Amino acid sequence: MEGAVCIIDGDGGVRESLRTLIGTLPVKALTFSSAEEFLAHLDAGIPALLITELALPGMSGFKLLEVLDSRSIHIPVLGLTSERDVEEEAVASRLGVVDLLEKPFLYWAAIQRVQEILGLPS
């Protein structure tokens, strides 16, 4: 996982679309269906970027970020949300989320944000 972009989303279509999109960049994209699955693979290295749905089934994206913080693991995070609101934005900011993308989002906007965060040319 070292240096990869990790994508966590409960929707397989969203995961695969983002994996394909990120695959056009010079980085490896890995997908996970849950926060628990991601955490089980974290010993393979720290990713360069985490894209996670915040309202995941099981452990939420917010809880995942709290777990990472408690382990002193700091990864840039793009949060995926269905309903962006002020409270969610405040919690996301407190937990270090770089930006929130509201579903459905434009894929070109997502790829542009990934390029900016990773410092890749657009």
What pLDDT does residue 88 have?
Answer: 78
Q: With a cut of 80, say whether residue 105 has pLDDT above it.
A: no
Distance CA 107, CA 120 (A): 16
Which CATH number does the domain housing residue 70 bear? 3.40.50.2300
Q: pLDDT (tens digit, 9 = 90+) per residue, 4-13?
A: 999 999 999 9
Q: With a cut of 80, say whether residue 106 has pLDDT above it.
A: no
Q: How confident is the model at residue 69 (pLDDT cuts 50, 70, 90)?
A: very high
Q: Give kind and range of the element (H or E) at residue 36.
A: helix 35-41
Mean pLDDT of 26-52: 95
Count of domains forming the chain: 1
Closest CA to 14 of 40, 48, 51, 39: 51
CB 15 within 8 A of CB 52: no
Closest CA to 77 of 68, 87, 86: 68
Mean pLDDT of 6-23: 94
Q: Give the structural domain span for 99.
A: 5-118
DSSP state of 4: P
